[in-house]
A = this chain, B = another copy of it.
Amino acid sequence: MLSHLKNYNIILGSRSPRRQELLSGLNIEFETAIIDVEETYPREIVGVDIPMYLAEKKANAYAKKLDENDLLITADTIVWLEGKVYNKPKDKAEATNMLKNLSGKTHQVITGVSISTKHKRKTFHVISEVRFARLTSQEIDFYLENYSPYDKAGAYGVQEWIGYIGVEFIEGSYFNVMGLPVQRLYTELKRWDK
């Protein structure tokens, strides 16, 4: 599958182990690159445009290094609730607060993805809706003490205990909630250069 891309050197520009695992699941060979950018964006950008902007910012930071046969994939995931972005929490207090706000409500998880070669770029986004059950303070504490919310937008990993006990309902792609919308990415790669 995706044999039309066999002359490309596919590079995943992400240090996230979840994204690496998800891209591996597409059964394609790739290498990873660490791209350091400040995850900041202009104040006037909202909603889906935030992760698309950040995915492109990461692609731009790597653009000069792109060789003729390189195909770079960058991505950014945000949690969006009631007009506010939930990023990676700085400390336990912020993580607690985020999970209390997500509890009993439906939020959006939005991933922006950029596919870039030296001569072409395609950026898109995928939205998944996630409904959390009401979480008790004990459940939030137990999660924060036993798992690692600090590298995750919205302070939770859907594939961890909190996702098992807390996520009542998803509308859209589960893998997008994990950090990479692999079905849509596969479709875009299938169409690439056709």
Residues of A at the B interface (CB closer than 8 Å) are 1, 22, 25-27, 133, 138-139, 142, 160-161, 164-175, 182-183, 186-187
Is B1 within 8 A of A139, CB to CB?
Answer: yes
The residues of B that contact A172 with a CB separation of less than 8 Å are: 169-170
With A26-B165, A167-B173, A168-B173 given, name 6 new contacts (CB 8 A).
Answer: A1-B165, A22-B164, A165-B183, A165-B186, A169-B171, A170-B172
Q: Once the chains are docked, how many angstroms separate the CA of A132 from the CA of B17? A: 26
Is A170 within 8 A of B170, CB to CB?
Answer: yes
Q: Which of A160, A166, A183, A187 has the most chain B CB atoms inside 10 A of its CB?
A: A183
From residue A48, how far is it (CB to closest CB) to chain B in Å? 17
Q: Once the chains are docked, how many angstroms separate the CA of A113 from the CA of B138? A: 26
Is A142 within 8 A of B1, CB to CB?
Answer: yes
Q: Once the chains are docked, how many angstroms separate the CA of A186 from the CA of B168? A: 11
Closest to A24 in B: B164
Instruction: Pick the contact of A25: B139, B161, B183, B186 (CB < 8 A).
Output: B161
